[in-house]
Structure 1
Amino acid sequence: MAENKLISGGSENKDMNKVISYYSKYWYLFLIGIILCIGIAYWYVNYEAVPEYRISSTLLVKDKDKGSGASDMEAIADLGLVKPIRNVEDEIGILKSSSLMEKALQDLSMQVKYSVPENISEEKFLQNLPVTILVDDSETLEYNVPIYIKMKDEKTFELYETNGGDKSVHSFQEKIRKPWGTFTVVKSTAIPASNWYSTISFYFQDIAAIADYYSKQLTVLQLTQAGGLLEISIVHPVPEQGEEILAQLIEAYRREAVAYRNELASSTIAMIDERLDFLTGELSNVEKNVEQFKRENALTNVNSDAELYLEKASEYNRQLAEYQTQIDVLNSIESYLSTEDGDGAMVPSSLNIQDPTLVGLISRFNDLQLERKRMLQTTPKSNPLVVDIDRQLTSLRSNILENLRNIKNGLIITSRNLAANTRRYESQIAKVPTVERGLLEINRQQSTKEGLYLYLLQKREEEALSMAAPVSNSRIIDAPKAGNYPVSPNKTSIYLGALIFGLFLPFSVIYVKEKINDKIGDTSDIQELTDTPILGEIAHNREKEKMVVGERNTTPVAELFRLIRFNLKFVSAGKANKVILVTSGMKGEGKTFFTLNLGASLAISGKKVVALSFDLRAPKLMRTVGLSDDFGISDFIINENIEASEIVVPSPEIKGLSFIGSGPIPPNAGELMLSNRIEVLIDELKKEYDYVLIDSAPVGKVADGFALAPYVDSTIYIVRHNVTRRRQLKTLDDIYRTGKLKRPMVVLNGIKTQEAYGYGYGAREKQSTAYKVRTAET
């Protein structure tokens, strides 16, 4: 025996065309989103965003590995004992430091922020500012307190706060003391009184916070990998003010570099002066001793017999004097390190001691001293970084002293050897008068002191000359200059972002709405949840009439009922299909509406149709067509004397269509559904009518519909668009898989989209070939 089944095309995934078609239904939301976001972007760009300009400058920083092309002034600046070691990476860090930015902003008096009046650009306002506020840095300021200055005449003004404080009259150039700060108001002589603003407001701002903000905004790039060419840039809403900030920052950087070099030179000069004072006294005493010795001993010439030995002894004495000079220098540095407290003092050079280890240790010591001094400007001594530097300085001081002692011990040993050689030759001139030997000793001391004195005097002049020539280690290539066009806001990016967001916002809303919506939307949702064949779709009835099918009615809804009528005939394929059960999962899905209009469609085609109101708990069929429901099925089941023809009521509108009401609502509807009288009723109706349509109770709520299963040929399960929930289709799938009801089929009711209007003029044709027939042998 073959059974014909109407099935859908399977549970295929939605293709891209269907997704596009689904979202295109909400085109108006995308249009609203685009217009709204573009409008907000337009308002932001034109009325809210502040245009910002990029100000840049190019600076050449001389690296520690200098070439041979230094100018004469740079060569003068490189004189001295101790040279600061610099590299480009360190200089970039110095330029971006907040302490340097703070000094630059203090030079520009940025502690005061002037409020710009309405309808006046900040650039124009600052150019025509009639007064300048000079802040007393020694006093504590209260930040962000609005203060107003109201001009009275060319000599006086009125001062008051915005919180309603007392007003006071002051003169220009007068030092004003208030709880929120001490300052002086200076009148600009370049702005005539006729161009003054009637009221000017200002407030004090935290210069440290502003410096931290600008230092983070500052960008320093090395233009060449091996060179010292730097590009310094900053973004600012007022180009002129941005140029001033950048120019002052570079000036502060150059000034600090010169000050550091001068500080190092001053420390060296102070040490040399100390030694020169000491050597001056010793030289004076030696010269007096020579004069006195010659006068007392009446010396005229040297013994010619000891001339050769004296020449040798003189050579050793000269070498001994050189080593003694080096020992004295080492003693001086050792004494300097032992007596200095180390609080920021620089260690002088080792002069003529050519020991690379000692030179490196002294250079590292001086670098750490400078770093410690810089950090103490912004951090306390208890800061862990400062404590770490102090620890390193202590360690370096110890290493330098140890190195000095080792070098000095070597020199002492060598000096002792030279002295021994000297004594050996002196023993050869034993005949030389004692007076002559004494004179030689005095001359040797004098020569040593004079050599050391001249050497130190030369180095002092070199250090003084380097201080007198204030040459910085940097040179400005391009002065700070703002660009012609603002870099912010980026209109193209903002409008593009607004367009994308305008599309994304409605898309996300629709997507989320679709994901959280658990109601049946179209046939694809049914196909995903069950394999039950789909008989057809019914469009949403926009009219109030319940009977939409008529002989001359060609509305889309009526055409779809005709299509379902054809599909029913197609499904039966010659087999008996007279008794059709119409049910649903819950109330309100349109099974009564469907039963009524399907019956009308079949009757119009020339068939005799009877529609039974078998929802004994909540009957609606008879009331829908305006007929009485007082006598019907419940009476037939209870009273065996009643014939089926007695409860049949012909339709007053459709020829060939009849109705059977439910009758009085019984208290035991479930028990009545199990009565044998139902079979008698169905058999009698099958003999008289071509189709018997049963409007039953929802099978998702009660089991009345299952009691009719033995008498029906097929079952139509009504699912309503955007009403039936997805979980309710589990009941339908269970019916299909277990066979609780014969040949179940699905009708999707209430489709509101144009695709459901399958037939009729001006509508898209929906052919029955959209449904496939599968023949299965049972």
Structure 2
Amino acid sequence: MTANNLNQQYNTIEQNDEIDIKRLLFLLLRRWYWLALGLFIGATGAWLFVKYTPDKYQVNTSLLVTDESKGFDLENLFMEGMMGGSGKASLQNEVEFLRSYTLNRQAVDNLNWQTSWQKKNLIIWSGIYLNEPFILHKSGEALNPAGISIYITPLSETEYVIEADGEIDLDGQTQKIAFEETATYAQPFRNEYFNFTLTPKENSGELLGESYRFSFIDKSKLTTAYLKRVNTDYGKESEVIKLSIESTEPLRDIHYMNELVRVYLELKLDLQTQTQKRSLDFIDSQLSGISSDLSAAENTFTEFRSKNQIIDLSSQGSLIMEQLKEIEQEKSQMQMQLDYFKNLQRYLGNIQSADQLVAPSVVGITDATLNALVLKLSELYSRRKVLAFSARENNPSLILLNQEIDQVNHHVREMLVNLIDNTQLSVNTLNIRYNRINQQLNNMPEQEQQLINIQRQYELTNEIYTYLLQRRAELEISLAAAVVDIQIIDPAQFERLVPLNKSPLLILFIGAFLGLLLPGVLILVIDFFDNSIHLQEDIEKLTPLSILGNVFHSTEKSELVVVHHPQAPITESYRTIRTNLQFKLTPGIQKVIGLHSVQPSEGKSFNATNLASIMAMNDKKTVIIGADMRKPRLHQIFNLSNTKGLSNYLVGQYTAKEVIQQTEIENLSVIASGPIPPNPAELIERPAFLQLLEELKKQFDFIIIDNAPVSRVTDGLITSRHSDLNLFILRYGVSKKNQLKYINDIASHGTMNNPALIINDIKLNRLNYGYSYSYQYAYGKGYAV
């Protein structure tokens, strides 16, 4: 193979970055026990997860925001027509209402939960809502701080161990609470922070061996937690609001969701009827005062008639009285309306006075537009009050609501200006009429004048009282007929729980997959950062040089395994290499084989001696030269003397015949390295080395040169120029991948003649897919040059 061909093949190898599935599979299977362990851990972990993880469910409830009117209140019906549409709050506002802290805190307060209990199941704590094995009675005098987990371990039928370890915040300072004591059932447990009594619900002997824990509930934190957990959703086209919560204690959360909806509906109805209730309170306050005035006027009227023995007024007196009564009644009505208009004018824009708004119809104002606007304004203020609990000032819903309030306020102000002027004008007109008729009264007898005034005052008060009673009855009917415009479609209940846990088979599959994935990734990562050669594929991908053969791992103590163990697999390896040499060398002409390694400890001398031995055992006269004069080993392997050898020959001390030593192996001779010289490279470069090879070619069929590592010294590179075949030894698990680049550089520059590779130390006791086709490689691809 020429240097140009090597360069082309080397460039092709560098560009080939395709993933080798076969190699990846081998890398994984080579450490199958890692995968087996990972699979066991993953599957076991998944099984434990399935067995001990509490079941998780989704608790659901749904509400329909209907277009129902508020009972038979004609004023509300009229308001809806005036303001356009149904007057129903938008779904977004209703959602904000449901998510308000005030509403959720009211639900928590109504449920009156004091403690939260859990039971230990192996290593998992599971909630036991309404299945607590104890009755706990706490003393109101104790602090009993919330949020501290208190552990209960039953000891006997009468005693238990109680312990706690946590921190609380008292007056801005952190206080640590830690204790462990033995307490008695049905007896108060007291310390600096706690005071409560624990009593078993059933036979306390059945609790032995179990572990429980509980904590006193902080209602503020519980409310905040529910605000985070409760999810709300509504469709763009539908009028349905859906509430859901993920729960491991479904019964607890079912109770909470239903209580939340109940409080929401109650508050909605309360807000919806606030105007009527304020009007009713206003009428009650008026009736309270008028009732006293009516009683006093009635007594005065009766006493006056009895004292003065007057039964009826004259016809003229009756006429005057009726006229004055009619004017005073109109004037009283007008004055009441005028006062209402002025008060309303003061309340507009004042959020603090929003609760004092009273419907105009209560004081007899029949203006339908004003009635509708005031009721609308009252509703908007109520919605803003609720929304302000959970929304900030920059909340879009709150901004839109404020804009709508400002718009309604503006319309009401414009109306009030005209209404006040018109009402004041009407009052002035009535005053003029009253003064004119009152002059006629002055012309009548004094006694009749007094009777007219007393009777007029009585009848006027009675008519106002009757009017207010009538209005009160109308409001009570309106309140009794009021219904909230929200309907529950589906309450939260067990039948509608949605399981959220994944399928046990799926979890086991995921656990097994992760159990295989993690060690698999670890194996590939280790391989990525491992620069050592472990597979024949590593070599094939990194060099175009042919592989002459694979040498199996030797388990024998002897280094001459082919001699002492002729039936061993490693001996068969060398027989294969010996056969392959016949295809690499021209018989009778090419005889010199150089063995090299890039680094020490790759098995160069071991392979040189066994390769020489196997060739000699095939009746080939073979000589092995110890060219590694810096660290000689050949004489030790063959039990020979190193007093004279190659170094002596190269300096002219001995002849070739004198340095050749016969081994115990027939047809195998050795030229030891000899005494270590100070200048091995310079000695090898002398013509004497070439002369030695020429002499040996005449006597031997094969000459094998055992060289020093080429990355350390240049000795091997010098001898390689005289070798017909140069074999590099690569050892699995020892040789590095970057050594192949070094070998490729040497081969591509033509520094060596006819380079090839031998893979050393293949372990048969491990999976090695490279071995299964090593011979095919050697006979096929290895010689396609």
TM score, norm. by length of structure 2: 0.74
Whether 1:597 aligns to 2:607 is no
Q: Distance in 2 between matches of 1:556 and 1:682?
A: 33
1:331–1:685: structure 2 CA closer, same or farther, 3 Å change rule? same
Aligned to 1:510: 523
Q: Distance in 2 between matches of 1:14 and 1:170?
A: 70
Q: Distance in 2 between matches of 1:599 and 1:772?
A: 22
**Contact 1:82–1:349 (CA under 8 A) maintained in structure 2:** no
Aligned to 2:624: 611
Q: Which moved more, 1:95-104 or 1:520-529?
A: 95-104
Q: Distance in 2 between matches of 1:505 and 1:96?
A: 43
Whether 1:690 aligns to 2:706 is no
**Contact 1:51–1:489 (CA under 8 A) maintained in structure 2:** no
Question: Aligned to 1:549, what secondary structure does the other structure show?
Answer: helix
1:710–1:276: structure 2 CA closer, same or farther, 3 Å change rule? same
Q: Distance in 2 between matches of 1:712 and 1:463?
A: 121
Amino acid in the other structure paired with 1:364 = L
Whether 1:681 aligns to 2:692 is yes
**Contact 1:334–1:401 (CA under 8 A) maintained in structure 2:** no
Q: What is the Cα deviation at residue 357 of structure 1?
A: 6.0
Aligned to 1:409: 417
Whether 1:366 aligns to 2:382 is yes
**Contact 2:59–2:497 (CA under 8 A) maintained in structure 1:** no
1:207 pairs with one of 219, 227, 234: 219
- Partner deviation per Cα, 1:31-71 (whole Å, 9 max, x = no partner): 2211222122223333x32334x3645454443x238xx9x
**Structure 1: 5+ residue stretches without partners:** 304-309, 376-382
Q: How does 1:362-401 map to 2 (within 5 A)?
A: 362-372=378-388, 374=389, 385=393
Aligned to 1:31: 36
**Contact 2:593–2:727 (CA under 8 A) maintained in structure 1:** yes
Q: How does 1:329-478 map to 2 (within 5 A)?
A: 329-337=340-348, 342=352, 345=355, 347-351=357-361, 352=365, 353=367, 354-355=369-370, 360-372=376-388, 374=389, 385=393, 403-411=411-419, 435=440, 459-465=471-477, 467=479, 473-475=486-488, 477-478=490-491
Aligned to 1:299: 316
Q: Distance in 2 between matches of 1:756 and 1:149?
A: 62
1:627 pairs with one of 630, 633, 640: 640
Whether 1:43 aligns to 2:48 is yes
Amino acid in the other structure paired with 1:104 = A
- Partner deviation per Cα, 1:72-118 (whole Å, 9 max, x = no partner): xx558997999984454444444455554444344444232346488
Q: What is the Cα deviation at residue 607 of structure 1?
A: 2.3
**Contact 1:755–1:764 (CA under 8 A) maintained in structure 2:** no
**Contact 1:8–1:771 (CA under 8 A) maintained in structure 2:** no
Aligned to 1:669: 680
In proportion to residue count, which structure has more helix? 2
- Partner deviation per Cα, 1:252-290 (whole Å, 9 max, x = no partner): 33444444446554334334555667889999999999x
Q: Which moved more, 1:346-355 or 1:674-683?
A: 346-355
**Contact 1:112–1:203 (CA under 8 A) maintained in structure 2:** yes
2:68 pairs with one of 66, 69, 72: 66
Aligned length: 730
- Partner deviation per Cα, 1:562-585 (whole Å, 9 max, x = no partner): 332333332335694222221110
Whether 1:16 aligns to 2:21 is yes
1:51–1:418: structure 2 CA closer, same or farther, 3 Å change rule? closer
Aligned to 2:668: 657
- Give the superposed CA RMSD: 5.6
Q: Distance in 1 between matches of 2:493 and 2:649?
A: 105
Whether 1:131 aligns to 2:135 is yes
1:542–1:409: structure 2 CA closer, same or farther, 3 Å change rule? same
Question: Aligned to 1:331, what secondary structure does the other structure show?
Answer: helix
**Contact 2:535–2:768 (CA under 8 A) maintained in structure 1:** no
2:116 pairs with one of 109, 113, 117: 113
1:549–1:279: structure 2 CA closer, same or farther, 3 Å change rule? same
Q: Distance in 1 between matches of 2:475 and 2:755?
A: 109
Q: Distance in 2 between matches of 1:370 and 1:184?
A: 40
Q: Distance in 2 between matches of 1:697 and 1:194?
A: 83
Whether 1:535 aligns to 2:548 is yes
**Contact 1:696–1:705 (CA under 8 A) maintained in structure 2:** yes
- Partner deviation per Cα, 1:382-423 (whole Å, 9 max, x = no partner): x96599999999999887665444213333565689899999
Q: How does 1:639-654 map to 2 (within 5 A)?
A: 639-640=652-653, 642-653=654-665
Q: Distance in 1 between matches of 2:691 and 2:637?
A: 26
- Partner deviation per Cα, 1:290-343 (whole Å, 9 max, x = no partner): x99xx999736999xxxxxx9xxx9x99999998876554224224559x7817
**Contact 2:58–2:499 (CA under 8 A) maintained in structure 1:** no
2:712 pairs with one of 694, 701, 704: 701
Question: Aligned to 2:316, what secondary structure does the other structure show?
Answer: coil
Q: Distance in 1 between matches of 2:74 and 2:416?
A: 32
1:494 pairs with one of 482, 507, 513: 507
- Partner deviation per Cα, 1:439-472 (whole Å, 9 max, x = no partner): 9xxx999999999987765554444445557855
**Contact 2:275–2:359 (CA under 8 A) maintained in structure 1:** no
- Partner deviation per Cα, 1:643-663 (whole Å, 9 max, x = no partner): 20111112212x222111011
Question: Aligned to 2:664, what secondary structure does the other structure show?
Answer: coil
Aligned to 1:741: 752
Q: What is the Cα deviation at residue 494 of structure 1?
A: 2.2
Amino acid in the other structure paired with 2:135 = V
2:148 pairs with one of 134, 139, 144: 144
1:568–1:223: structure 2 CA closer, same or farther, 3 Å change rule? same
Q: Distance in 1 between matches of 2:466 and 2:28?
A: 95
Amino acid in the other structure paired with 2:738 = R
**Contact 1:634–1:664 (CA under 8 A) maintained in structure 2:** yes
Q: How does 1:503-582 map to 2 (within 5 A)?
A: 503-550=516-563, 553-573=566-586, 576-582=589-595
Amino acid in the other structure paired with 1:35 = F
Question: Aligned to 1:342, what secondary structure does the other structure show?
Answer: helix
- Partner deviation per Cα, 1:652-707 (whole Å, 9 max, x = no partner): 12x22211101111233233233332122112112222221110111111111222
Question: Aligned to 1:659, what secondary structure does the other structure show?
Answer: strand
- Partner deviation per Cα, 1:579-629 (whole Å, 9 max, x = no partner): 222111011111112211222233233322111000000011221222222
2:782 pairs with one of 758, 771, 774: 771
**Contact 1:96–1:216 (CA under 8 A) maintained in structure 2:** no
Q: Distance in 1 between matches of 2:729 and 2:153?
A: 81
Q: Which moved more, 1:342-351 or 1:129-138?
A: 129-138
Q: Which moved more, 1:219-228 or 1:159-168?
A: 159-168
Question: Aligned to 2:784, what secondary structure does the other structure show?
Answer: strand
1:264–1:573: structure 2 CA closer, same or farther, 3 Å change rule? farther
Question: Aligned to 1:612, what secondary structure does the other structure show?
Answer: strand
1:623–1:196: structure 2 CA closer, same or farther, 3 Å change rule? closer
Amino acid in the other structure paired with 2:680 = A
**Structure 2: 5+ residue stretches without partners:** 81-86, 165-177, 306-311, 444-448, 450-454
Question: Aligned to 1:546, what secondary structure does the other structure show?
Answer: coil
**Contact 1:50–1:489 (CA under 8 A) maintained in structure 2:** no
**Contact 1:538–1:756 (CA under 8 A) maintained in structure 2:** no
Q: Distance in 2 between matches of 1:170 and 1:590?
A: 79
